Amino acid sequence: MSSTQPPAIQMTEVSKHYRRGDETVQVLDHFTLTVEPEAFVALMAPSGSGKSTLLNLVGGLDRPDSGGIVVAGIDLASLNEAALTRWRARNLGFIFQLYYLIPVLSAARNVELPLLLLPLSREERHRRVEAALTLAGLPPERHRFRPTELSGGQQQRVAIARAIVTDPPLLLCDEPTGDLDRSAGDEILNLLKTLNERLRKTIVMVTHDPHAATFATRRIDLDKGLVGERRPAA
Amino acid sequence: MKSPLRFSPLVLSALRRHRLRTWLTMLSVLIAFLLFGLLQALNHAFYGGVKSAGRRILVSMSAESLVEPLPRAYATEIAAMKHIDRVAYEVWMGGYYQHHSQILYALAVSPRRWLDEERRFLLLPPRQESAWLKDRSGALVGNLVARTYHWKTGEIVPIRSDIWIHPNGHNTWPVRVDGIFHSTKKALGEGILVHYRYWNDGMGDPNDVSLLRVEVSHLRDLGQVARAIDARFANSPSPTRTSSAQTFIKDFINQTVDIGVIVEDILAAVFFTMLLVTANTLTRSVRERSGEIAVLHTQGYSRPLIFALILAEALVLVLAGALAGTGLAALIVQGLRGALSAYLPYLALTERAILEAVGLALAFAALSSLLPVLQVQRLRTVDALRRA
Amino acid sequence: MRFLRETWVLLGIGIKSLPRRLDVVLVAVAGFAGVVLVLVAVLSIGEGFEQTLTATGVPDVALVLRKGTGAELSSNLTLNDTEVIGGEPGVAMGPHGPLVSPELLVVINRRKRGSRVETNVPFRGVEPVAFVLHPHVHLVAGRLFRPGLNEVIVGRSASQSFAGLALGDHFRSGHLLWHVVGVFSDDGGVHSSEIWTDLPTLEGAYQRGDNYSALYVRLPQKADYAHFRAAVEHDPRLNVRVEPEMSYFAKQAKTLSTFINVAGSILLVLMGLGAIFAALNTMYAVVADRSREIATLRILGYARLPVLVAVLLESLLFAAIGGLAGALLAYLGFNGYEASTLANFSQIVFHFRVGPGLMGAGITDALILGLLGGIAPALRAARRPPAEAVRTL
């Protein structure tokens, strides 16, 4: 909260390429980005421009070819695979376009999954799961439903509850409204906005939808590794 | 040019979709057919001798038991009966060489009669043949036995008997190797022939034989002659039991172990399991491609054509595995044959077994594509397109 | 603790989602079941045969045969030998003199029930002392034969397996008619496959004079055997060899058990390979099917090792179910299955034996196969970068 707090995300001169068949795709080329704590950043980009790659790098799922990534003062390059995995469990929440809920588990069980990695009593886990689902706006009578019994918007609420249940400071969202209609999408975006404002979560959301970007406090246009930043009008 | 082969890229691309799965399934089929080949070879090893026995030959032995002798005089009596070409007799020596584990298939026979019957299957230098005929304590030795124990012509070898003990209390029957023969009948190569008179003199003239081999003039008389022989001696002190030589051998093997039944049971279990594996692979492959299949359908591919494509996929998968498995079995059998010739002279993968394997593979392919075909039959193009 | 919990969650999700891929799983289970069924069934033959032969005889009895003969059927001793051997050191004394039992063994043709195959059934002539030397032999029905009347008692297995040997039956062998007056048990030993009558009657029927096949001798002290053997084999009046009764019968099991063990091993290797291929196919399908779930959990902070262990455990679970099913099928289908085989020119009836040891071995084999089939897919699941799994979806 104080001004001496390190940036939530500091990417410095990050390059990343991958192979697609015979061709090499340079998705990030000496890319630099700073995200302040408690910001809600929308990364706007056309498909294939490497926005998912960027999220994967920040989430420690992938490593850059060169350059440094420091998240909340932690240099990801200094963590090995196992340490990165542990780090993710406490510090990150992921939200995907297709929710990625486990179909055979109830909503509450899905939300409980990350809590199982922490030393918590059963009662404490139950309390936190209920709190997260309530906060995410899933009606209480649906907490025991399986994902297939829920609407798309409700499934995304469960995914958001799962992302915030461990109370991580940073949420990474990959097209969170990409599979939803306008009104359900707006509800989810409002929820994210609330999480940002009330719970002070830092949120990085990649999207190709300019409307979605209007909910963020900062918009970054990403095109083939080039960054053009534009403040939203509001 | 409307060759059906123009569809082969479609079939191959389906198989290449999940290379690992295709390989694993082919290997499963390979294993099934390898087992089939090996078990068929083993089966032939046990029953191959049955077919080699002459079809017009009857075997007469004591009705009481295998080890009870019959009087040699029966040979003369039977030879005088109707529809009979020849009667030969033999005494089973129950021999072994040095140690009980080295069993010798030694028979005491009337040399001329035996040669008359078997000459067409023999490769024996005439000098050796006449030497044996003249030498009462001589023996003819099959090439396989001679090779196993490194016997040479002129050598004197002690055959010891588990059954026949000289009146003086010894069970050793020394014989001179007068001739070593090759035979087109594999089992003969394991045999040793000594003069009946040598045995009979040694035992003090019991004039007994273990069994009689009766050659009937016409195959159609076989059953009638067998019954006539048994009827003739029914009320004598030594009643006979007569059966065809093929039945005799088969019964003897069946008494030891009914290998045929066990082999069939095992194969049934193996094939059922492998059928499941293959059918499942094809079903999954078709299910994954239901979208593509629907697209083909909209492009004018008829259902029969699509079924044919699935069947072709099954055929490629199964035939490749089956041929490789059978080939491997043939190689293994070829390799084992030399080493096991002393124990299993009939160990072989016959053409018949190979043809059976191919037939089985075709049936196998058809059966395993049944399920996916039904699946396509049920598939509604509209639904599948939505999933595509 | 955390590791166990992660593994448990992954395994639980895997098991809960089984119905979704039941067909693939059933194939793997059937593969394991097939291997275990065949293997246990084949080995139960050897086990049963060995069981019968090792259940024969008692430790303090020795068998005397003519020197140079391998089996009772080909051995030949005389009354004179009996008297000499009865006087050798170490032989136990009974109320009527030394405990030595002269026995004549011949074989007769009997038809196997439910088949037209004629088989060689052993026919043994004994004196009353035989029942002391063969303590396992006891009547279970009818009465004992009376000497000189062509009466016989028949072993239970022979009575069940061969035609015309039931209690009260008459059967013809050669020119004689025999009457079955009793049925006896040998507590699972080979004598159950035999027909017994009194020695002089059988000697008369087969014109053997006072010749017989073998002599059973009781040597109560363990140390006596060596003494007795040395004395008998060096006695110039005798031309015989001595062997402990139990080892004589146990040896007969060797050829068949060796053949079965070799055949069983080859079958295990080949069918095992087949089952591994089936398991690999299944587990790769399972892993592919679950890749999104696994990636999601990995992104949530689940470690690699629990993924590996959970997939392996799933494979082992299939193996255990399949193995158990196979072993049970083998037990239901083959335990007690009656068969007979030719040993030394006489039929020995025995029963396939699917015991707990064999079933355990079958299930253990299945678990090993499950481990082998599960390891590569498990490694693939654990190694796959979650970002890649998510991207390809």
Name C141's bridge partners.
Answer: C183
3-state secondary structure of B27: helix
CA gap A118, A89 in Å, rounded: 8
Q: How far are the Cα atoms of A36, A43, B152 from residue A200, in angstroms, in the given order?
A: 12, 19, 102
CA gap A31, C348 in Å, rounded: 86
- Are the Cβ atoms of C296 and A88 closer than 8 angstroms? no
Residue type, C131: F
- Are the Cβ atoms of B255 and C120 closer than 8 angstroms? yes
3-state secondary structure of A214: coil
3-state secondary structure of C344: coil
- Residue A2 — pLDDT band, cuts 50, 70, 90? very low
In this prediction, residues C354-363 reach a mean pLDDT of 94
Tell me the per-residue pLDDT of C131-189, one tens digit each, with 9 for 90 and over: 999 999 999 999 999 998 999 999 999 999 899 999 999 998 867 899 999 999 999 88
Average pLDDT over chain C, rounded to an integer: 88
Residue type, A167: D
Chain C contact for B228, CB < 8 A?
Answer: no
Higher pLDDT, C209 or C313: C313
Residue type, C50: E
Closest CA–CA distance from residue C290 to any residue of chain A (Å): 10
Among C21, C24, C27, C238, the residue to mutate for chain B (most B Cβ within 10 A): C27
CA A132 distance to own-chain centroid: 16
- Are the Cβ atoms of C300 and A114 closer than 8 angstroms? yes
Asked if residue B136 lies in contact with residue B198, where contact means CB atoms within 8 angstroms, the answer is yes
In this prediction, residues A144-155 reach a mean pLDDT of 93
In this prediction, residues B16-25 reach a mean pLDDT of 86
Query: Which of A175-189, B113-127, B220-234, C251-265 has the weakest average pLDDT?
Result: C251-265
Question: What is the percentage of chain B residues whose pLDDT exceeds 70?
Answer: 92
Q: Is the pLDDT of residue A127 over 70?
A: yes
In this prediction, residues A203-227 reach a mean pLDDT of 83
ipTM: 0.82
Tell me the per-residue pLDDT of C76-130, one tens digit each, with 9 for 90 and over: 888 888 889 988 888 888 888 899 999 999 888 888 888 777 788 999 999 999 9
Among A16, A85, A155, the residue to mutate for chain C (most C Cβ within 10 A): A85
Question: What is the percentage of chain C residues whose pLDDT exceeds 90?
Answer: 39
Position of tokens 């190709």? A208
pLDDT at A234: 36
Asked if residue A71 lies in contact with residue A168, where contact means CB atoms within 8 angstroms, the answer is no
Chain B contact for C273, CB < 8 A?
Answer: yes
Largest CA distance in chain B: 96
Q: Closest Cα to residue A213, out of A33, A27, A40? A: A40
Looking at the partner chain, which of B28, B160, B277 has a beta carbon nearest the beta carbon of C68? B160
Q: Is the pLDDT of residue A21 over 90?
A: no
What stretches of chain B show up as alpha helix (H) in DSSP?
8-16, 19-52, 73-79, 111-118, 126-134, 143-149, 196-202, 222-233, 245-256, 259-288, 290-298, 303-340, 351-368, 370-378, 381-387
The string over A100-139, giving b where at least 16 C-beta atoms fall within 10 Å of a residue's C-beta and e elsewhere, is: bbbebbbbbbbbbbbbbbbeeeeeebeebbbebbebbbbe
Tell me the per-residue pLDDT of A36-58, one tens digit each, with 9 for 90 and over: 999 999 988 776 667 778 888 99
Q: Closest Cα to residue B181, out of B213, B157, B156, B147? A: B147
pLDDT at A232: 43
Position of tokens 């010798």? B104
Instruction: Give A85's contacts (C-beta < 8 A, 6+ positions apart).
Output: C298, C301, C302, C303, C304
In this prediction, residues B277-285 reach a mean pLDDT of 79
Position of tokens 């072989």? B348
CA gap C27, B280 in Å, rounded: 7
pLDDT at A228: 44
Instruction: Give C392's contacts (C-beta < 8 A, 6+ positions apart).
Output: none
Instruction: Give A145's contacts (C-beta < 8 A, 6+ positions apart).
Output: A106, A107
Beta strands in C114-219 (DSSP E): 118-126, 138-142, 151-155, 170-173, 176-185, 195-198, 214-218
- Are the Cβ atoms of C345 and B67 closer than 8 angstroms? yes
Structure-block tokens of residue B160:
């010891």
Asked if residue A69 lies in contact with residue A10, where contact means CB atoms within 8 angstroms, the answer is yes
Nearest-Cα residue of chain C relative to residue B271: C34
pLDDT at B341: 67
pTM of the model: 0.79
Chain C contact for A77, CB < 8 A?
Answer: no
- 213-272 in chain C: CB under 8 A from chain B: 239, 256, 266-267, 270-271
Closest CA–CA distance from residue B270 to any residue of chain C (Å): 7
pLDDT at C339: 81
Q: Closest Cα to residue B128, out of B174, B181, B175, B173? A: B181
